[in-house]
């Protein structure tokens, strides 16, 4: 008999087919997230739980997995939705999808940088509304991107991919994170390690690529926004709670900074009051890794992790906390 593997939400066909070659797949194809009850039910019936970053995999879900559940394979690089300590204690593997989505997410980060600086969304809206009456010298004046200073907060795979692209725009690159990169890598990226304050004060674009942890929650709040140049932009494609969105709305309203582009926000999918009134804000529905090819590759990697467990092996992309 084939083992049962649960998939909590929409999953690419190519990966579903691959999964079905070795397992009975319990699949939620409703298009909506599972309730906490149903999530526990799925966990209780499966050897592997393929989860979304919107599924809260807490102690109750892991408990429901009993002795049967061997792996939670998260469909995404971030895994702040999972109670890692509890999974460790129960000896349930947790895997994610690193090293396959950074380039696509970096592309989106650049789309946001260019989009907010050159006022692409506002310009599109006006044109669609039939309000473009011919070339005008002061129509949608924005900021330049080339030759400016890019500040990367969190220089992991995504941050580095973002920094690499800055070369083509003749930008200076500053970066900040807990641990300094090796000198050779700094040279390759042409990036200078600075304190958070120096980065905030010196950058024309501040882009966030840190994971959500207790240490990064509200890393950018009123004080940090006040340090940024009034002509600077904040770009955010990490995890919503890294930024205090209430403070961001105030800063955008008061022109403390020039603009922001968010692919993630604090109370996703709920917007913070005042967001939709702001022309100097672009808000996207968490589509950082959403290219057809990358979502397929991510899903196939999820399946490979599950296959590893079915084969009695250690999953190939275990989260760092579980690596030896
Ligand atoms: C991730 O993988 O963590 C992303 O946020 C999904 O796009």
pLDDT tens digits, residue range 13-61? 999 999 999 999 999 999 999 999 999 999 999 999 999 999 999 999 9
Percentage, residues of the chain above pLDDT 90? 100
Place of tokens 């240490």: 215
The answer to whether 164 is a known catalytic residue is no
pLDDT, tens digit, for every residue of 14-23? 999 999 999 9
Q: What tokens were used for 102?
A: 């950074």
Q: Does residue 209 have an active-site annotation? A: no
Instruction: Choose, from 239, 266, 316, 321, the residue flagged as catalytic.
Output: 239
Distance CA 3, CA 274 (A): 49
| Residue bearing the CA closest to ligand 1, atom 4 | 76
Task: Determine which residue's CA is closest to atom 7 belonging to ligand 1.
Answer: 289
CATH of domain 4-99+292-322: 3.40.50.720
Does residue 192 register a pLDDT over 90? yes
Hey, what are 77's tokens?
């690089």
Q: Which two tokens stand for residue 4?
A: 């049962």
What pLDDT shows up at residue 324?
Answer: 82
Question: Can you tell me the distance from the alpha carbon of 68 to that of 4, in angstroms, rounded to the nearest whole number?
Answer: 10
Based on the residue annotation, tell me whether 268 is a catalytic residue of this protein: yes
pLDDT in tens, 128-177: 999 999 999 999 999 999 999 999 999 999 999 999 999 999 999 999 99
What is the per-residue pLDDT across 229-252, written as a single tens digit (0 to 9) for each? Answer: 999 999 999 999 999 999 999 999
Q: What is the mean pLDDT of the chain?
A: 98
**Cis omega (within 30 of 0) on the bond before 269?**
yes
The third-level CATH classification (topology) of the domain covering 102-283 is Rossmann fold (3.40.50)
In sequence order, what are the residues at sequence separation of 6 or more whose Cβ sits closer than 8 angstroms to the Cβ of residue 204? 143, 148, 149, 150, 229, 231, 232, 233
- Which ligand 1 atom sits closest to the C-alpha of 288? 7
Task: Evaluate whether 4-99+292-322 and 102-283 have a shared fold.
Answer: yes
The Cα-based distances of 24 to 34, 35, 95, 121, 198 in angstroms read 19, 21, 20, 45, 54
Domains in the chain: boundaries: 4-99+292-322, 102-283
Ligand 1 centroid–CA 78 distance in Å is 6
Nearest CA to ligand 1 atom 6: 76
With pLDDT > 70 as the criterion, what percentage of the chain qualifies? Answer: 100
């Amino acid at each position: 008999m084939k083992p049962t593997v649960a998939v909590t939400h929409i999953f690419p066909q190519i990966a579903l087919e691959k999964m079905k070659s070795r397992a009975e797949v319990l699949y939620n194809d409703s298009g909506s997230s599972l309730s906490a009850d149903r999530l526990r039910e799925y966990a209780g019936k499966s050897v592997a739980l393929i989860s979304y970053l919107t599924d809260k995999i807490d102690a109750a879900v892991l408990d429901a997995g009993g002795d049967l559940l061997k792996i939670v394979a998260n469909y995404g690089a971030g895994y702040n939705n999972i109670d890692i300590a509890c999974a460790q204690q129960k000896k349930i593997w947790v895997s994610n999808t690193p090293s396959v989505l950074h380039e696509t997410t970096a592309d989106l980060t650049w789309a946001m940088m260019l989009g907010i600086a050159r006022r692409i969304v506002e310009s599109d809206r006006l044109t669609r509304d039939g309000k473009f009456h011919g070339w005008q010298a002061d129509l949608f004046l924005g900021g330049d991107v080339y030759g400016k200073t890019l500040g990367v907060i969190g220089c992991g795979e995504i941050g580095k991919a973002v920094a690499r692209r800055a070369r083509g725009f003749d930008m200076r690159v500053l970066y900040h994170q807990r641990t300094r990169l090796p000198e050779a890598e700094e040279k390759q990226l042409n990036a200078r390690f600075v304190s958070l304050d120096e980065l905030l004060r010196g950058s024309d674009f501040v882009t966030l690529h840190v994971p959500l942890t207790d240490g990064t929650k509200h890393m950018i709040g009123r004080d940090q926004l006040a340090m940024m140049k009034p002509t600077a932009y904040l770009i955010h494609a990490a995890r919503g709670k890294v930024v205090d969105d209430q403070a961001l709305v105030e800063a955008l309203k008061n022109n403390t900074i020039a603009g922001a582009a968010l692919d993630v926000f604090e109370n996703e999918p709920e917007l913070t009051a005042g967001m939709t009134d702001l022309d100097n804000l672009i808000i996207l529905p968490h589509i950082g890794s959403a290219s057809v090819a990358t979502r397929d590759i991510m899903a196939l990697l999820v399946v490979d992790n599950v296959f590893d467990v079915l084969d009695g092996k250690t999953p190939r992309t275990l989260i760092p906390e579980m690596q030896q």
